[in-house]
Every structure is written in C-alpha cells, then in structure tokens.
Amino acid sequence: MNAGRKPVHHAVYDTLADWETGHATAHLARAGYEIRTVGPSTDQVTSIGGLHIRPDLALADVRPEDSSLLILPGGDLWDTSGDLAPFARKAREFLAAGVPVAAICGATAGLAREGLLDDREHTSAVSFYLAATGYQGGTRYVDADAVTDGGLITAGPTEPVAFAREIFRLLGVYEGEVLDAWYRLFHDSDAEAYAVLEQAGGQ
C-alpha cells in the first residue's frame, strides 16, 4: 500500500448496487489505494446481490481530511426512504473541504435532494429521474455516460466503466493514452488496448 496516499472511502448500505463500483475499487486497490468501507454504523449491511459487508467504520467517524475520495453507489434506499440522506450531507462536507466525491445511480438523486447538483454539471440515469426530486439543477444536466465538475463525479447505473474512468482521471491513476486504453478494453472489449495497458503496467 502506498503510504503517501490517503484511503478511498466507499459507502456501503443495505440495497447497495454491487455492480456499479467494482471496476473503480479493484483498479484503485491495484494502484495502491486502501479501500475503506463506510456504513451508517459498523453493523453488517446487505447488497442487492446478497453480499454481506461489515463496514470498516461508521459514517460519523469519516473526515474529509483523512480521505482521497468518497464513493457513493446506488441503492434502492436512495429512493424509498430518507435513510441515506446522511451520506449526501457527508458528501457536502467533503466537497466543501475540497475532497472529491463520486456518485452513481440512485446516489445522484440523493445529492440532487441535498442541493449539490444545482450549480454543477452532472448526469444520472435520465434527466426526469432527477427532476422528480424537485431539485433546481435541471439546466445543468448533461446527457453523457459520466460527468465531472467541481470535484464531483456523477454517472448513471449502466455506466460503471465510465464512472471508474472519471475516478482514475481525477485521482491521476491513469492518464492520456493509458486511460483511454483502459476504457476501450473494459467498455468496448478492444483487445488492441490490452497491449497499451500491459506496456504501461496498468492492466
């Protein structure tokens, strides 16, 4: 583990969408980042896919100054209750401290409700999904696979690879042709991209 890098904090909660953050966390870990899971408490949570996860720490104990990035995956609870609102408030704390946040799928709706998308370009599943939250940022919605603005990454549920790409770009994990090759390999199954990654040690 690279001692000079602060951990990446990955939110976990009941109904979290397993498939949305795996590309990001696997390659961040390979790049030397410690991945620390953060739950509402340290009690076990269960993902949509039935994985049981015991968080490393509780949300209340996470401080922006101790982190490189906060990742917020989607989950049914973002739309069916207010249980995850504290994670959106923590995202506000991170962004105010200049520490980036990456939100995908339902987490984007949580950030919309918190007002964090009103003044930033962003994306999600579809524009009317966010419009249903009543937020004020509709004119800043971008129809793209993933968007980064002001230290905040957003993506829809079908774009876990693009989501990871934006995280790698923001943290400087991969850059230039290596970042492009990584995306082409994992998103487009472009076999020629593997040679670029192998040469750069980034596969």
| Residues recognised as catalytic | 105
CB 53 within 8 A of CB 105: no
| Distance set, CA 20 to CA 2, 80, 123, 150 (Å) | 25, 19, 15, 22
CB 173 within 8 A of CB 28: yes
CB 68 within 8 A of CB 102: no
- Which tokens hold the place of 129? 């999904």
CB 21 within 8 A of CB 27: no
